[in-house]
Amino acid sequence: MSERITNPPQSDLLMECEGLDISFGGIKAVDNFNMQISKGEIVGLIGPNGAGKTTIFNIITQFYRPNAGHVYFHSQTRGKVDLCQHKTHEVIQVGIARTFQNIELIKDLSLLDNVLVGGHIHFKSSLLSRMLRLPKARQEEKEMRAKALELLKYFEIDSLADMHADGQPYGVLKKTELARALLADPQLLILDEPAAGLNDSETADLSKLIKQIIAHYNCAILLIEHDMRLVMNICDRIYAISFGKTLDSGTPEHIQKSAVVQEAYLGEVEDE
C-alpha cells in the first residue's frame, strides 16, 4: 500500500493517539481519547470493566477502525505513519507487538515453535525457498531459532523448549507469549492484563521482568492491568478512563490522589 514516509523523529515521542472515537450499535465505546507514549516508557491504561481499554488496544493494532481520530507511530524503519491507514497484519511490521488477555498459543506446538511464530516478519526468503529448504532459507531459520532459544533462556524456560504448550503451567505460557512478542523486535510492546491468572509471587516476578524488558530489549510498554499494585509499581505514567473518556493522566502518585479516579473506582468521594 502507498504511504507517506517522513524522516525519523528527533524527539523521544513514539506514539500519539489523537481524538479517537468509536461506537458500537449507537453506544460510544471510546470518546475523543488522546494519549502519548515516549521511547523507553511504561504507560498504564486503567479503568473499570467496560471502560474501553481493550477497545483502545484494538484500535491501535487495527483490529478496529476508529470512526474518527488518528494513531501516529514513529517507526524506526518507516518514519511517522498513521496506523489507521494500515491493515492489522501490517502493524507488527511497523514496530508494534502485543500479547492478549486470553493466551493465544498453539497447544499442539512446542514452546519453541510458538515463539518462532513471532519471527515470521523477519524472513526475507520467499515461502517457496523455505518450502524447498534452500540455503538462504535454512540460514534464516537457524538464526531465528537461535534467537528464539535465547529468549526462552532469558525467561528461564529454555529447558521446556521442546515441550508442547498444552499442559504447561500458566506462568510458563505467559512467558512464552511474551517471548513470541519480543521475537518481532517491537519498539512498542502492548500487554493486555499480563498479571491475569498469576499468583502474588508470579506477579512480583512479572513486575521485575517488565522493568528488565524495557532496558534489555529497548522498547516501550503499554499495558492494561487490573492489579493496581503492579501498575503503580512499574508505570512511569498512567491514563485512567471511564466510558471511553479520559478521567485523568499523570504519574502513579498523581493518579492515586486523583478524586475523579477514586470516584470512578469507589463511587462518589465525599469532601472532608
pTM score of the predicted model? 0.85
The whole-number pLDDT of residue 11 equals 60
Query: Who's near 203: CB < 8 A, 6+ residues apart?
Result: 195, 227, 229, 230
The residue out of 179, 200, 222 marking a domain boundary is 179
Q: Which domain holds residue 137?
A: 107-179
The whole-number pLDDT of residue 233 equals 93
pLDDT top residue among 130 and 31: 31
- Residue pair 29/50 in contact by the 8 Å Cβ criterion: no
Task: Indicate the helix (H) or strand (E) that contains 82.
Answer: strand 79-82
How many residues make up the chain in this entry? 272
Task: List pLDDT tens digits, range 81-128.
Answer: 999 999 888 898 899 999 987 888 999 999 999 999 887 665 566 565
Mean pLDDT along residues 129-133 = 63
Report the range of poorest mean pLDDT among 137-141, 163-167, 255-259. 137-141
In-domain check, residue 101: no
In-domain check, residue 100: no
Indicate whether 81 and 196 sit together in one domain: yes
Mean pLDDT along residues 128-132 = 61
Cα 71 from chain centre: 15
Task: List pLDDT tens digits, range 33-65.
Answer: 999 999 999 999 999 888 999 999 999 999 999
Work out the pLDDT band at 137, boundaries 50, 70, 90: low
Task: List pLDDT tens digits, range 141-193.
Answer: 888 899 999 999 999 999 999 999 999 998 899 999 999 999 999 999 999 99
The residue out of 126, 152, 179 marking a domain boundary is 179
pLDDT top residue among 69 and 197: 69
Q: Please determine, for residue 267, whether its predicted confidence score (pLDDT) is greater than 70.
A: no
Indicate whether 170 and 202 sit together in one domain: no
Indicate whether 73 and 124 sit together in one domain: no
Average pLDDT, the chain: 87
Indicate whether 270 and 141 sit together in one domain: no
| Axis-axis angle for helices 170-182, 135-154 (nearest 10) | 130
The whole-number pLDDT of residue 123 equals 57
Mean pLDDT along residues 206-224 = 92
Indicate whether 63 and 165 sit together in one domain: no
The whole-number pLDDT of residue 133 equals 66
Q: How many domains does the chain have?
A: 2
